Amino acid sequence: MAQTTESARTTAATGDSRLPKGFRSAELGWPELNRVPHPPRRLPLLGDVVGVDRRKPVQDSMRLARELGPVFRRRIFNKEIVLVWGAGPAADLADESRFAKHVGLGVANLRPIAGDGLFTAYNHEPNWQLAHDVLVPGFSRDAMEGYHGMMLAVAGRLTDRWDRELAAGRPVDVPGDMTKLTLETIARTGFGHDFGSFERDRPHPFVSAMIGTLTYAQRLNAVPGPLAPLLLRGAARRNAADMAYLNRTVDALVEERRGSGGGDGDLLDRMLATEHPSTGEKLSAQNVRRQVITFLVAGHETTSGALSFALYYLARHPDIAARARAEVDRVWGGTGRPGYEQVAKLRYVRRVLDESLRLWPTAPAFAREARGDTVLAGEHPMLRGAWALVLTPMLHRDPAVWGENAEDFDPDRFTPQAVRTRAPHSFKPFGTGLRACIGRQFALHEATLVLALLLRRYHFHADPAYQLKVTERLTLLPEDFRLRLSRRPLPGRSAEPDPAAEREDGGTPGGGCPAHANEDAESGG
Ligand code: HEM
C-alpha cells in the first residue's frame, strides 16, 4: 500500500527501520555528514536560509555549489539535503546496481495529484512496472513516426501565430508560445485532444492549474513541515482547486474517449485498453487518471523550456543560427513537409538543443537513493535508503569535464568525436537508469523539428538589453523572453546530399526499450 507524503515524513522522522519513503533528512542516512560542507552562516532551527531566494532554489544551489564544491549540503528548517554535482560522484550515483531513483522533495510533493503515475511512483509500487511496460511501445520508432505528422500540424499553428504577430509588428512571447505548442503536441499525439491554446490570448486554464500545482510543490520544500498547513493555508486552498480542475479536465477527456469507443492507438488507448504482455493486467481507472495528468504535465513543460532556451541562445549567437539554418536548408531543400527521417538528419540543430539542455536542463535535478549501505565515490558512507540530489546544471558545468569555458554556449561540444571522448554520465538532462525519461525521443524529435521550422522561416532579433532571468517552478524557463522576427524566403529545392553529414545517434534504434536506449550516447558512456 502506498504511503502518503505525510506518513512518509512521519516514518522518516521516527526513524522506522523499514526503508522510509518520501522525504528523509540527510542525518538519518549519512553517518559522516559532518564531513560534507554546508554554507557558513547556518542558523539554529532555520538552517541555511541567509541570502536564499525562496523562488529560486536551483539557482541558489548553483551559487552554493560554486562555493562549497562537488558534494555539499543545505538545510532548510528541518530538512537537510545532500547535493552532488561533481562528475565523479554523479557518475557513481548513476550506478544502477547500487542506486535507484528516490522520490523525494518536489517530486514527492506532486504525489497528491500524480500518485503512482510513472514519474512519481515509488520504485516498489507495482503500477510503475505495469505502466512502464504498457506505455513504452508508445515511444517506439514506429509510434514516433506516427506522431510526426501531428507534430508538424501543431507547429504550423505556431508559425501561423508568429506570422500574425510579425505582420502586426509585435515581438513574440517565446516561453508562452512554446508552452502552447508543446501542450497541444502532447495533447494531440497522446490523447487526441485539442486545448485550443493558439486561439487563446491567455494560457489555457489547464496550464494555469498546472503551474499552480508545480509552484506549490516547490514552495512546500521551503517551509518547515509542521508549519506548512498554517503558513500555506491560502496556497493550499488554491492548490486543492487547481488539482480538482486538473482531475476534472482529465476525467472529461477520458470519458469522451470511452464514449467514442477508442482512438487511433495513441497513449490514451494504450492506457485504457492494453493488457500487460505477460500478466494480462490493465491499468485501473484511477491509475489512468494519474498517468494522463503525468503525461500532459511532464510531456510539455520541460520541452517548452528546452525550446525557449535554445531560441534564446540562437538569437544571442547569429553565427550559430546561420550554421543551423544552412543545415536545415541543405537537408530539407525546398520541401514544405519534412519527413520523419529528415529531422534525425539535422545533426547541428540537435547539437544546439543538447547544448541548451546542458546549460539549462529544464528538469534541473533528480534524486538517487542507496539500494544498500555503500560509500559514495569512495568517500562518503551512506546507509541503505540515504539519498542525494544531482544538481544537473552544475554537473553540466563541471570544469573537469566541460573545461574552464563551461559557461560558454558551444554546440560543437556535441560532435560525435567530443561525445566519444567525454567521461560517461556527465550529460544527464533526461535523468538516469531505469527511471530515466520515457519521453526523451519524443521531446528531442519535437524540439528539433520545431527549431528547424523556425530557423528556416524566420530571422530572430533579440532585444540587446535583455538579460537572461530564469524562472523556477520545479522546471526552468527563461523569464519574459521576447523575440522580434523577420521573414526569410524559403530556399529553393536543393536535395544535394551533404557529404559532411556525420552519422550520430538520431532516432530510436530498433528493439530494446526506447526510454533507455542510448541513454549515454551523448555523454560518451
Ligand atoms: C526536454 C524535455 C524533457 C526533459 C528535460 C525531461 C526530463 C526528465 C527527467 C530528468 C526525468 C527523470 C526524473 C527523475 O529521475 O526523478 C524524466 C522522467 C519522465 N519523463 Fe521526461 N523530460 C522531458 C520530456 C518528456 C516528455 C515529452 C514526456 C512524455 C511524452 C516525458 C515524460 C516523462 C515521464 C513519464 C517520466 C517518468 C519516467 C519513469 O520514472 O518511469 N518527459 N524526464
Q: Which domains does the chain have, with CATH numbers?
A: 5-131+366-392 (no CATH), 135-363+405-487 (1.10.630.10)
**Alpha-carbon span 409 to 310, nearest angstrom:** 10
Instruction: Confirm or reject: Cβ of 107 under 6 Å from ligand 1.
Output: yes
Q: Which residue's CA is minimally distant from atom 20 of ligand 1?
A: 437
pTM of the model: 0.90
**Alpha-carbon span 522 to 173, nearest angstrom:** 31
Which amino acid, residue 395?
A: L
Look at residue 425 in the predicted model and tell me its pLDDT: 97
Instruction: Confirm or reject: Cβ of 106 under 6 Å from ligand 1.
Output: no
Catalytic annotation, pick one of 302, 362, 432, 475: 302
Please list the ranges in the chain whose pLDDT falls under 70.
Answer: 1-23, 225, 492-525
Contact 29, 387 (CB under 8 A): yes
- Asked if 189 is an active-site residue, the reply is no
Look at residue 343 in the predicted model and tell me its pLDDT: 97
Instruction: Confirm or reject: Cβ of 507 under 6 Å from ligand 1.
Output: no
How far from 268 is each of 191, 220, 287, CA to CA, in Å?
5, 31, 12
- Could you please report the per-residue DSSP string of 50-112? TT--TT-HHHHHHHHHHHH-SEEEEEETTEEEEEE-SHHHHHHHT-TTTEEE---HHHHHTHH
Which amino acid, residue 441?
A: Q
Q: Which residue's CA is minimally distant from atom 2 of ligand 1?
A: 303
Query: Is 437 assigned to a binding site?
Result: yes
CA dihedral 503, 508, 511, 516 (to 10 degrees): 110
Q: Which residue's CA is minimally distant from atom 9 of ligand 1?
A: 430
Look at residue 203 in the predicted model and tell me its pLDDT: 86
Contact 481, 175 (CB under 8 A): yes
Look at residue 506 in the predicted model and tell me its pLDDT: 35
Look at residue 21 in the predicted model and tell me its pLDDT: 54
Instruction: Confirm or reject: Cβ of 220 under 6 Å from ligand 1.
Output: no
Catalytic annotation, pick one of 72, 430, 442, 460: 430
Look at residue 357 in the predicted model and tell me its pLDDT: 98
- How many beta carbons lie within 10 A of that of residue 508, not counting itself? 25
Quote the cell numbers at residue 422: 567525454
- Asked if 513 is an active-site residue, the reply is no
Q: Which residue's CA is minimally distant from atom 37 of ligand 1?
A: 119
Instruction: Confirm or reject: Cβ of 312 under 6 Å from ligand 1.
Output: no
Instruction: Confirm or reject: Cβ of 276 under 6 Å from ligand 1.
Output: no
Pocket test for ligand 1, best of 437, 442, 474, 523 (most atoms within 8 A of CB): 437
Instruction: Confirm or reject: Cβ of 305 under 6 Å from ligand 1.
Output: no
Burial of 164 (0-12, 13-18, 19+ CB in 10 A): exposed
Look at residue 11 in the predicted model and tell me its pLDDT: 35
- Asked if 437 is an active-site residue, the reply is yes
Q: Which residue's CA is minimally distant from atom 7 of ligand 1?
A: 430
Look at residue 218 in the predicted model and tell me its pLDDT: 79
Look at residue 109 in the predicted model and tell me its pLDDT: 84
Beta-carbon contacts of residue 459 (< 8 Å; ≥ 6 apart): 321, 485, 486, 487, 488
Question: Could you report the per-residue pLDDT of 457-467, keeping only the tens digit for each?
Answer: 999 998 999 99
